[in-house]
A and B are shown apart, each in its own frame.
Chain A
């Protein structure tokens, strides 16, 4: 049995520099500090022996040691790369139709994943569709983070009536279920990819705003904000240097979890015909058009749904891993 009583024989005191009299002896009021300079391993104001690790560095450290998240992140990366390099990877033109080759199963005449109801190659359409779906997943979240984040930070920092006005306005949007709201807005604006993205952006602004506001309110109560005010800093300076860095974390985590939701919602909009218009490839739209053919080649028709599912879940799990890594108690 390991002997717990013994102090580790080679316990080191880590230091990045040879020991110096890190303390000015005048302020100690005792002792001969110069003597300590010659003895290695003893320091006055010794730092804790951890490495210099900033916040982001410890986040990366934790991520590196989290195999589950890394696996899913790799899958997401693969999907993104596949979509990005779709023109190179796709075996056929995604728009090329064929009357003969409709709804063919896997492997029919060099179509590895079969063909859709208009004879277009599924693999190519999936790859190109990935571009659209991913775009519609990420862009609304990005814009909503910017706008909602800014609103939230301002509302949280200024407080008082401004806060009430902004947050209650956001609450109005909260009253609607997100799917319904997205459908309503997209429908009212007439569909199409741009309108779909706009609808999703509007749907995501209130939750981003709320997250940012909560984080800002918490940060605002801390003493270092008071200290910054006591230094004479103006509000915008304080927000820029002190608030944003601390609020970015929660906002980023929440945004990453919204990406998977956004992909789902975007596919849903396209499924309902309110998003991307044909013949543009999009997973949701493909699902919709392949729906009737499910008894003919079930596997082929399930593919877009599978793509949506896998992408969304992997994004979700990556965002969970990010949250665990970023929730570093400092």
Chain B
């Protein structure tokens, strides 16, 4: 009984013109270059990209989890109407874990090894609700059962290293859900997991998202994972969104050459006699981006115009945007 995401209603998260640069003595890395998107309540947006595409940095900017001294962020980030980039530290601490929660890729490093799982979940609960220890523990138990951890009561007193990878990931999800966030940010949470465990976590996340009505932004490099979990997909390359739209459209009929190339080069049942259609070359150096479209050097459909100017997003169909000169359609803004 999934509620279709409310269109045209107030967006749960809204990012416009986000730019993130990391400044070091030796170089400036343009990690994110003008990213805009919107997430509706109850919707799952998947940010798809390879390493260096800027997807993780974008996610962390939503909670301002980037190193403050080296980072220059400009643009607009609003979650539930609040301006995240302009927030004072106290409000930011309330936001993190409260309204917005995040789950990470490597559960072993995201969980503190010297505290039991129950204690860590309880700590988050107490920080945000101010309740006493017993109530926090009860809530932790409730959460572990929500994420289907077997023998939850026993696991409350387990240390992270005593749990298997899948259980640790569930514990981390429980911790993230402890204060009923309305927006869940997931940074490649299944990448480090085995296939049989990954599918369990994906099914769990999907179920929880539906039941709790959370919006979710899920970052991944795996098209299969995106197919399993997303309502909408935004494809990123070199710090920019190059295509966005409903998941079925993006995976079946992508408009942008990069997305098409990504699909073609993902090994999935190709005949064994032929080579895979790989995208030639490598991703660009974020310290020295080429002028014009960042994908042009590797694009089979590039023209001279591609190197001169940045393509504006165009919409071949409603709800589907691609930033490419080769795409025909009305101009538009990222949604």
Contact = CB atoms under 8 A, between A and B. Distances in A.
A224 B279 CA distance: 29
A31 B265 CA distance: 13
A33 B280 contact: yes
A74 interface: no
A11 B288 contact: yes
B328 interface: no
A11 B289 contact: yes
Interface residues on B, range: 20 to 34
B334 to A, nearest CB: 15
Given A29-B276, A30-B275, A4 B300 contact: no
Contacts of A29: 274-278
B291 A7 contact: yes
Contacts, number: 64
A31 B282 CA distance: 15
Interface in B278-301: 278-282, 284-285, 287-291, 296-297, 300
B281 A44 contact: yes
A18 interface: no
A48 B33 CA distance: 19
Nearest to A25: B280
A12 B288 contact: yes
B290 A41 contact: yes
Given A4-B19, A4-B74, A30-B277, A49 B285 contact: yes
B5 to A, nearest CB: 29
Contact of A48 (B34, B285, B290): B285
A45 interface: yes
Identify the interface centre among A9, A23, A46: most chain B CB within 10 Å of its CB: A46
A194 interface: no
B291 A31 contact: no
Interface of B: 17, 19, 21, 25, 30, 33-34, 72, 74, 274-282, 284-285, 287-291, 296-297, 300, 307, 310
Interface of A: 4-5, 7-9, 11-14, 23, 28-31, 33, 41-46, 48-49, 65
Given A7-B291, A31-B300, A65-B25, 13 more contacts: A4-B72, A4-B74, A7-B310, A8-B289, A11-B290, A14-B288, A28-B278, A29-B276, A29-B278, A30-B275, A43-B297, A46-B281, A46-B285
